[in-house]
Amino acid sequence: MRGFSMVSIWVFTFLLLLKISSCAGDSGVVNPCCYYPCQNSGVCVRFGTDRYECDCTRTGFYGENCTVPEFWSRVRLTLKPNTDVAHYILTHFHWFWDFVNNSFLRSTFMKLVLTVRSSLIPSPPTYNSKYGYLNWESYYNLTYYTRILPPVPEDCPLPMGTKGKPVLPDPKVLAERFFKRTKFRPDPQGASLMFAFMAQHFTHQFFRTDHEVGRGFTKGLGHGVDAGNIYGDKLMRQLQLRLHKDGKLKYQIVNGEMYPPTVAEVPVFMAYPEDFSPEKRLAIGHELFGLLPGLTMYSTIWLREHNRVCDILKAEHPTWDDEQLFQTTRLIIIGEIIRIIMEEYVQQLSGYLLSLKFDPTMLFEERFQYSNRIALEFSHLYHWHSLMPDSFLIDGDEIPYSQFLYNTSLFLHYGVEKLVDAFSRQPAGQIGGGRNSHESLLTVSERVIKESRTTRVRPFNEYRKKFNLKPYSSFEEFTDDEEMARGLQELYGDIDALEFYPGLLLEKARPTGIFGESMVEMGAPFSLKGLLANPICSPEYWKPSTFGGETGFNIVKTATLKKLVCLNTKWCPYVNFHVPRNEEEAKPRKPSTEL
């Protein structure tokens, strides 16, 4: 047995050396850029076989590896509080933020948040999954997701560069050991399932990976908030969903209420199980939104809101044709989406006491580019399946996943009002810290990990550096779960080899936070840049005439989640991205149209 073990060790060592040698090329020289030597966003350029240079242009640093701060960079680093201190200030001191929120300082702070966060996202785009260097294809070819960091060089000796083990851990093992829920852990920030379903419904308009072409490619050519999840991502689908009268979308009436039409009436592709008849398949903007009643609920609400706004515009502009009514209404809907996401959804997500404000005019005097490209890293980052509970509580009934998925009858049985009320009251799960994903959703996490390897996404710590965060020095620093730290060390061998997506999901959560530091500091720049870079937020678009006059403009500027729901339902349920905060909020509500 002992001799067999020694032979095994020698064989393993030989194979490892052989792999390293083959990865390093015939010369045996390792690509120096595989060591990620350039810091502070410096760009590594290889010369010959064993020499590199770091381009430190406009990084605020200089030196061989861009590590020496220039004068103003040194001043900024000295004065700037670290992210934990800044987060603490933004989530404490109610008396201070009450004063700020009711004064001119609210706009000042909001402008600072927007400019600081947005500046972290390169515009125009830089890399993609094929090119790790700047080139015209990366900029021009919209079928690619862009990349914040270039891929791991193909000729590195190890999967994540030069550190870690020669073989990355099995994604299924990672999911079972570190992602699988042991006991449901509610979000300590109080997010509701209404928030969770909005996260899915909202993001699927721009997270549309084209798996048939490749995992670094996207179907969504809009690369931002275009309401393609409501109107369809292609013109043909949009035309099929439209009524072609008064700017409206097609619909059916069930029990006196407006719902999406069936596929029997509107033959668009919807991803239902094969045994679903066309009469039971609802035809909506996104082909996957029949999966969950929560997604169908939001699609129905936006359908009703679109047609409601069309009626308002028709009354004000009787000479407008169907096309102008539709196109102007779509701009209003996009504006409503951005305002609700900015002022309520991101507000809930951040936990900040600063009241976030959607006011595009704040950036009109700034150097700001009104264009956006969706990054592959943002797509991976946003897989928040831990939000989903173990079962769903609706109108006194507990519904398991087996009865919840692809259940059009359930959606029509309860109706929009009861679903909104139920989802607004049920807590969503905590995302950070690991071990909080329902077992039925583990395959999605496995798929993300496989996709990140196929597209050679760089290690988690490299993204920490990119977003001005201190890289972790050990797994014990990374997580406060000792068993998890030991397990990750065993599987990865080095904290600098930890992958991007597992790093984001398993990082210790902030005290009373929905997730860890990295998710906030990396996710916020993507989100805010994407929202404010929308064309409707530009000086050319942000004016009454774009939205059909002051009436349409005011619909955008006064949009709220509550108005969205209650102006499109028979009675106004409890509707909030936050579960009830007190007994008064938790009381059943009487039918009401008051907003």
| Helices 408-425 and 193-203: angle between axes, nearest 10 degrees | 120
C-alpha distances in angstroms, 71 versus 63, 66, 397? 13, 14, 63
CA dihedral sign, ordered 120, 126, 130, 132: negative
Alpha-carbon span 149 to 35, nearest angstrom: 14
Selected catalytic residue, list 204, 223, 383, 578: 204
Q: What is the pLDDT of residue 21?
A: 42
Which two tokens mark 470? 């201190």
Question: How far is 186 from 136, CA to CA, in rounded Å?
Answer: 46
User: What tokens appear for 259 in the block?
Assistant: 């719902």
φ/ψ of 242, rounded to 5, equals -80, 150
Q: Is 150 helix (H, G, I), strand (E, B) or coil?
A: coil
3-state SS class at 47: strand
Q: 């033959």: which residue's tokens?
A: 267
Which residue out of 36, 382, 463, 574 is catalytically annotated? 382
Task: Assign residue 108 a region (left: φ > 0; alpha: ψ between -120 and 50; beta: otherwise).
Answer: alpha
What is the Cα 28 distance to its own chain's centre?
41
The residue with tokens 């600081």 is 116
Residue 468 phi, psi dihedral angles, 5° rounding: 60, 35
pLDDT of residue 592: 52
CA distance 49 to 44: 13
Q: Supply angle C-alpha 434, 438, 441, rounded to 5.
A: 100
d(CA 14, CA 51): 28
- Separation between Cα atoms, residue 126 and residue 213, nearest integer Å: 21
Ramachandran quadrant class, 58 (left: phi over 0; alpha: psi -120 to 50; beta: rest): left
> What crossing angle do the helices spanning 293-316 and 322-340 adopt, rounded to 10°?
130
> Which of 432, 426, 419, 420 lies closest to 351, judged by CA?
432
Looking at the DSSP bridge assignments, the partners of residue 259 are 252
Q: Please indicate whether residue 62 is annotated as part of the active site.
A: no
pLDDT at residue 208, as a whole number: 87
> What is the number of other CB atoms lying within 10 angstroms of the CB of residue 8?
10
Concerning whether 382 is annotated as a catalytic residue, the answer is yes
CB 355 within 8 A of CB 106: yes
Cβ(190)–Cβ(581) under 8 Å? Answer: yes
* Paired sense of beta strands 252-254 and 257-259, if any: antiparallel
pLDDT of residue 595: 65
Dihedral in degrees, nearest 10, Cα atoms 409, 413, 417, 423: -60
d(CA 500, CA 228): 28
SS3 398: strand
pTM of the model: 0.92
Nearest to 566 by CA among 424, 430, 471: 424
Task: Report the alpha-carbon distance of residue 451 to residue 95 in Å, rounded.
Answer: 46
Q: Could you tell me which of 148, 155, 195, 142 has the C-alpha nearest to residue 389?
A: 195
Nearest in space to 506 (alpha carbons), one of 471, 479, 483 = 479
Nearest to 576 by CA among 397, 239, 347: 347
CA distance 16 to 12: 6
Opening angle at CA 47, ends 45 and 51, nearest 5: 95
For 69, list phi and psi in degrees, rounded to 5.
-75, 140
Pairing mode, strands 51-55 and 61-62? unpaired
Q: How many helices (H) and strands (E) does the chain have?
A: 25, 8
Structural Rg of the chain based on CA atoms: 25
The C-alpha angle with vertex 263 and arms to 260 and 268, in degrees rounded to 5, equals: 100
pLDDT of residue 574: 97
Structure tokens at 357: 């404000």
pLDDT of residue 264: 93
Assess contact for 194 and 424: CB atoms under 8 A: yes
SS3 242: strand
Q: What is the largest CA-CA distance in the chain?
A: 91
DSSP assigned state of 209: B
Q: Are 369 and 124 in contact (CB under 8 A)?
A: yes
DSSP letter for 69, please. E
Q: Strand locations in 35-144, DSSP E?
A: 43-47, 51-55, 61-62, 68-69
Among left, alpha and beta (phi > 0; psi -120 to 50; other), residue 28 is left
Say what the pLDDT of residue 107 is: 94
Q: What is the DSSP string of 244-290?
A: SSTTPBP-EEETTEEEPPBTTTS-------TT--TTT-B--SSTTTT
Enumerate the β-bridge partners of residue 218: 209
Written as tens digits, the pLDDT of the chain (595 aa) is 334 344 343 434 333 433 444 444 445 789 999 999 999 999 999 999 999 999 999 999 999 999 999 999 999 999 988 899 999 999 999 999 999 999 999 999 999 999 999 999 998 999 999 999 999 999 999 999 999 999 999 999 999 999 999 999 999 999 999 999 999 999 999 999 999 999 999 999 999 888 888 889 998 667 899 999 999 999 999 999 999 999 999 999 999 999 999 999 999 999 998 888 888 899 999 999 999 999 999 999 999 999 999 999 999 999 999 999 999 999 999 999 999 999 999 999 999 999 999 999 999 998 888 889 999 999 999 999 999 999 999 999 999 999 999 988 899 999 999 999 999 999 999 999 999 999 999 999 999 999 999 999 999 999 999 999 999 999 999 999 999 999 999 999 999 999 999 999 999 999 999 999 999 999 999 999 999 999 999 999 999 999 999 999 999 999 999 999 999 999 999 999 999 998 777 676 655 545 6
Q: Give dist(CA 516, CA 534) in Å, integer.
A: 28
